[in-house]
Chains A and B, each alone.
Chain A
Amino acid sequence: MTFSPELEARFEKFLAKYPADRKRSAMIPMLIYAQDEVGAVTDELINEVAKRVGVTPLQVNEVVGFYSMLHKGKGMGKYHVQVCTNISCLLVGGEELYDQARHKLGIGHKEVRPDGRVSLEEVECMGACSWAPAIQINYDFYHDVTPEQLDKLLDGLMAGKTPGQIAEVQKVNP
């Protein structure tokens, strides 16, 4: 399996972080960064990571099933919208935002729109409690999200824009 030179360089760095006989430690970081490039944790990717860290594909497979950010099969959309409805967000409208996203996108929890661009997930606490309600699009955080802002984001994404092109709502992380 071939990866981009950037990902290959990252893999090399990952494998060098751990003691030589402990390459298995690199498995989860490799899987999550590779998923960003490949789009999903495919069988091919599982076999490749297994080979590189020196375990069987079954040993990778059983790990993949444990972690909620690793998506097997076809994976999530190019822009994965994650709405937190855990307690701090729940108290200030997180659940309503999730309902709004479901209706607007016409998809449910861990589903992908037919064009494969946008997917939705109701997620557990993402560590933005003091700036609730919060959502993440891929790895970017949006804080104190209002229904109007969510509409703008979802409309923009569905119209083919990238999150960065939706000027009205900006991510909070650098």
Chain B
Amino acid sequence: MLYNQPNPLEVRILSRRFGLPNSQSIDTYLANDGYKAFEKALGMSQDEIINEVKTSALRGRGGAGFPTGMKWGFVPRNSPKPKYIMVNADESEPGTCKDRLLMEYDPHQLIEGILIAGLAVGAQQGYIYIRGEYRYLITIMDRAIDEAYARGYLGDNILGRGIKFHLATHSGAGAYECGEESALLESFEGKRGNPRIRPPFPAVAGAYQCPTVLNNVETFCAVPPIILHGGEYFAGLGIPKAGGTRLVCLSGHVNKPGVYEVPLGFGMMRMINEIGGGVRNGKKLKAVIPGGSSCPLLKADECDIPMDYDSLAKAGSMLGSGGMVVMDEDTCMVKAALRIMRFYAHESCGWCIPCREGTTWLRKLLQRFHDGMGQRNDIVLIGDLSKNMLGRTFCPLGDAAALPTISIVEKFRDEFEAHLDGKPCPYEHASRLVTA
């Protein structure tokens, strides 16, 4: 059971069916407003659907936060090519575990969102790219898709209305890079997951070089409530320019980690203290990763801000994917930087040299530093190397590796200095310092 006890402070829109008995089944879904939004969308024009999504101020929930309605509007109407809907269910940003719940507990909500996107852009085929580790979710989604076919919500003549839409799952095989949209498309086509040069963007040349709407699972799941209750209703849940709710994955040193749905603009400290039950063992807060390991870290005194795209940008970070990692006062920030860099060095696809060489070099530097063999000018070198990756790669992985590192070096320089002159890590338990 993944699903945690709901908190009264949550506003449960996308997660409102979580916890219902047999919530995966189409019968439960239909009994709880299921496919009503799709039926409503059948009576709307393409522009009306897209405008409703624009009104909702829904922004992409995968990490980049691009306005969804605008993205759908980029799909050319007069293209002779087939159009595709592609769902990014390659959830692998460290700290992020929300799409798992959306698929496990409410697979039909995702299918309905995809169907409405199909109507909006005139697509007749969709695919859900699910990371290979989520095998059980492929089984759940396949079963839900079969149910939707059996009840006439998918097929050549949906609900007898002459509309055609087909949907299938697609398994990945373990590669963080494939969560990047153009790498995902390459991987989908049976190739190495290297990113593509953009433009053209997927809306114009996506899957098989055809116009493609590519969004995160949570983004598609927000569409049925938007259509059913109206864009204004959804927008009103959040703050201006960022509508609705989002699923925040709380992890790390908190008393009640879990996935909680809160309105955009919810206070970060309220999230930690009132929903997360505060920092574990009565310790003090040291730092927060606000939205997955690609985001610059915030120091404890920077965390008293609302969680929305603009407030986070103003604080020098990002809302990202909703993966919020809380670190207490006993956390070694050099080690945190090292672990994050080990991840990016492992996951760099090797396509762009600044990322391929930069992440590996940084990993080695940080490892040396944490082992007590760092030199004072390494601190500057770590920052410089990171800054030299910024904006010099085809996809955002280089930036994703650089941004948290730069923030840790700048904000926690004293911790790097505490590792100098052969001193052992001040936070590491002595038993772990003995090198094997």
Q: Which among A26, A33, A88, A136 has the highest number of chain B CB atoms within 10 Å?
A: A88
Answer whether residue B97 sits at the interface, using C-beta atoms and an 8 A cutoff: yes
Q: Could you tell me the distance between the alpha carbons of A136 and B135 in the complex, rounded to whole angstroms?
A: 11
> B48 → chain A, closest Cβ, in Å?
30
Is A28 a contact of B173 with CB atoms below 8 Å? yes
Is A67 a contact of B94 with CB atoms below 8 Å? no
Q: Could you mark each residue 27-56 of chain A with 1 if its beta carbon is under 8 Å from any beta carbon of chain B, else 0?
A: 111011100000000000000000001010
Is B258 a contact of A130 with CB atoms below 8 Å? yes
Which of B1, B97, B171, B336 touches A128 (beta carbons < 8 Å)? B97
Answer whether residue B134 sits at the interface, using C-beta atoms and an 8 A cutoff: yes
Q: Assuming A69-B174, A70-B173, A124-B176, is B191 touching A87 (CB within 8 A)?
A: no
Q: Could you tell me the distance between the alpha carbons of A91 and B208 in the complex, rounded to whole angstroms?
A: 41
Is B190 a contact of A68 with CB atoms below 8 Å? no
Q: Assuming A66-B175, A130-B257, A172-B2, is B133 touching A136 (CB within 8 A)?
A: yes
Q: Scan residues 116-149 of chain B and give those whose CB is less than 8 A from a CB of chain A.
A: 127, 131-136, 140
Q: What residues of chain B lie closer than 8 Å to A95, measured between beta carbons?
A: 432
Which of B92, B172, B349 touches A127 (beta carbons < 8 Å)? B92
Q: Scan residues 1-30 of chain B and give those whose CB is less than 8 A from a CB of chain A.
A: 1-2, 4
Q: Assuming A22-B189, A25-B189, A67-B173, is B249 touching A124 (CB within 8 A)?
A: no
Q: Assuming A17-B168, A87-B340, A172-B1, is B175 touching A129 (CB within 8 A)?
A: no
Q: What residues of chain B lie closer than 8 Å to A140, measured between beta carbons?
A: 136
Answer whether residue B317 sits at the interface, using C-beta atoms and an 8 A cutoff: no
Q: Could you mark each residue 80-113 of chain A with 1 if its beta carbon is under 8 Å from any beta carbon of chain B, else 0?
A: 0000011110111001000100000000000000
Is A131 a contact of B193 with CB atoms below 8 Å? no
Which of B1, B192, B258, B293 touches A66 (beta carbons < 8 Å)? B192
Is B190 a contact of A91 with CB atoms below 8 Å? no
Is B132 a contact of A124 with CB atoms below 8 Å? no
Q: What residues of chain A lie closer than 8 Å to B174, measured between beta carbons?
A: 67-70
Answer whether residue A160 sits at the interface, using C-beta atoms and an 8 A cutoff: no
> B129 → chain A, closest Cβ, in Å?
10
Is A63 a contact of B2 with CB atoms below 8 Å? no
Q: Assuming A19-B208, A66-B193, A132-B257, is B95 touching A88 (CB within 8 A)?
A: yes
Is B193 a contact of A130 with CB atoms below 8 Å? no
Of B304-312, B323-331, B354-362, B392-400, which binds chain A?
B323-331
> A133 → chain B, closest Cβ, in Å?
10
Residues of A within 8 A of B (CB): 17, 19, 22, 24-29, 31-33, 53, 55, 62-63, 65-70, 85-88, 90-92, 95, 99, 124-132, 136, 139-141, 143, 172-174
Residues of B within 8 A of A (CB): 1-2, 4, 82, 91-97, 99-100, 104, 127, 131-136, 140, 168, 170-176, 187-193, 208, 249-253, 257-259, 289, 293, 323, 325, 327, 331, 335-336, 339-340, 343, 346-347, 349, 432
In the A-B complex, the 3 residue pairs with the smallest Cβ-Cβ separation, listed nearest first, are A69-B174, A24-B190, A67-B173
